[in-house]
Amino acid sequence: DVVDLDEMRQRPGWLTVVVGAAGTPAVDDALRDAGGAVPSEDLSAEGYALASKAQASGGLVAIGGADPDGIYYGAQTLRQLVTDKAISAVSITDYPLMRLRGSIEGFYGSPWSHQERLDQLAFYGDIKANTYIYAPKDDPYHRDQWRDPYPDQLYTQLGELVQQAVDHHVRFTFAVSPGVSICYSDPADRDALFAKLQAMYDLGVRSFSIALDDISYEEWNCPADQETYGDPSGGAAGQAQVDLLNAVQREFLDQRDGVNPLQFVPTEYDNVDETPYKQTIREQLDERVEVMWTGTDVVPPSISVDEAAEAADVWGRPVFIWDNYPVNDFWWTTGRLLMAPYAEREAGLHTQVSGIVLNPMNQASASKVALFGGADFGWNDVAYDPYRTWNVAADYLAGGDAATTEALLAFFDLQHRAPMFSGEAWQPPAPELDRRLTEFRATWDAGDHQKALDKLRPYAELLASAPKVITDGVADPLFHDDVGPWMESLTLWGGALVSALDGLQARVDGDDEEAEQHFGEASELIEAAGEVETIPGETRTEGVIQMGDGVLDTFLAEAPELGL
């Protein structure tokens, strides 16, 4: 039936929501009536205008999108505006600054489960991330057995993921990594690659990536490549890869409807040095192919606008950033969840790159903290505030509960340390706890022992109680599966901190025997925490859970020695 919007909007007590394409008369009229701005015809892709206003008849909300994605994102913003059965009165015109925003499941170790992937794709819709790249290194059909078709069950699951992505306005990109064994000059291998891509196209995939990372070009995989391209070298590898990639773009993708340009992970993905390999790629690779780049290191401490501009020059096109944070599949991340905010990426990167995807942890749900920040940065890097978004991510996981949010942020702080591939930390350990302990030491050394204890104790008790608060307050069961060992460890470390403060309090009160008892309890808890390990098989590197190491353990070691 045809709905008379004017008639509906006169019904007392009704909230009228008008949703549609910007430029449609009914939508534009509703935007004006709600006090909003009508977007111009050149509103960026995925952009939208939203306005809401209280009226005598009950209220009006209007959403006008530049395209279906924009309408969807406008609805996500409206969801955020609804609090306690009330809607904020606003006028918003919004659009993303980066074209591609999201994640690449590109880590080593246990791939995400099907349920985790479904959950992630729904989450990306919530946070306005539009890209998911399927590239798990330890999926044998992605890399080691790339020629083999997916078994029926896995193929069916991939189809479900493609549909889930469509439902949440996420581009599902299928990546294949043939470099470990491909013979570039063998038509049979090219046909096998095309067959693999065709099977995904038949599922509805319209975005593809060829990953040629983490391979060597010091030897060929077949004698035919030696005959075709000569002795192994960076330049020869570049030529072989260009021939393959141009064939995929021109002979496969260009022959099919609705397909996005090819994406490509180069073998030299982590620097801006001029090399024969890069020169060949720059001069001969089809200009439409998007090149992925991790920054000036495998795990860079920062990414600047100037560095991205250098990368664009050396590759001959704006790069697509594969950001290796919060991935935890290398040695220095053993026992860690990387839950610091997404940071040290410079405002203005949108002027030099086509987008950013974060390579997350094996722990999918725990990765949401960083992914939340990456999506926010990709949408508007100019206005991005890492710690503001960090707080919002905690609130999201907590379902808006203030106590759970506080407990989560205290836990995140103890997992704040982020190491580079060299082991050097580019985000420091436990900065909030470190700040509080620094303040404690200064007050204690000044002789005001009771004030020092009274100031620190509430935070110590917060840490000790955080696991129960988080367990009770976070509704996501996948998050609890991810953080289980860390909650066990935090219970012990938090208890040790409280016991250490009890020991110091007893010392202040003049009871040395009780003090030693509490310090003994703290020591026993620390010893028990040293036996809590990661879930077997979950991550590439396994070992003892780390908890604010370098800060919490240092203080607990020195606490029994503090004199009056």
Enumerate the active-site residues: 214
Q: Which two tokens stand for residue 44?
A: 């960026």
Q: Say if residue 246 is exposed, middle or buried (CB neighbours under 10 Å; 0-12, 13-18, 19+).
A: middle
Q: Which helix (H) or strand (E) holds 472?
A: helix 449-473
Asked if 73 contacts 65 with a C-beta cutoff of 8 angstroms, the reply is yes
Residues 6+ apart with CB under 8 A from 278: 238, 266, 268, 314, 315
Phi-psi domain of 2 (left: phi exceeds 0; alpha: psi -120 through 50; beta: other): beta
What is the spatial distance between Cα 425 and Cα 301, in angstroms, rounded to a whole number?
A: 8
**How far apart are the C-alpha atoms of 483 and 476, rounded to whole Å?**
11
**289 near 261, Cβ under 8 Å?**
yes
Task: In whole angstroms, give the CA distance from residue 220 to residue 240.
Answer: 10
Tokens, residue 382: 């100019």
Q: Residue 215's beta-bridge partner residues?
A: none
Query: Whole-angstrom Cα distance, residue 102 to residue 114?
Result: 18
**DSSP labels for 497-512?**
HHHHHHHHHHHHTT-H
What are the DSSP calls for 52-98, one per residue? EE--TTS-EEEEEESSHHHHHHHHHHHHHHEETTEE---EEEE--SS
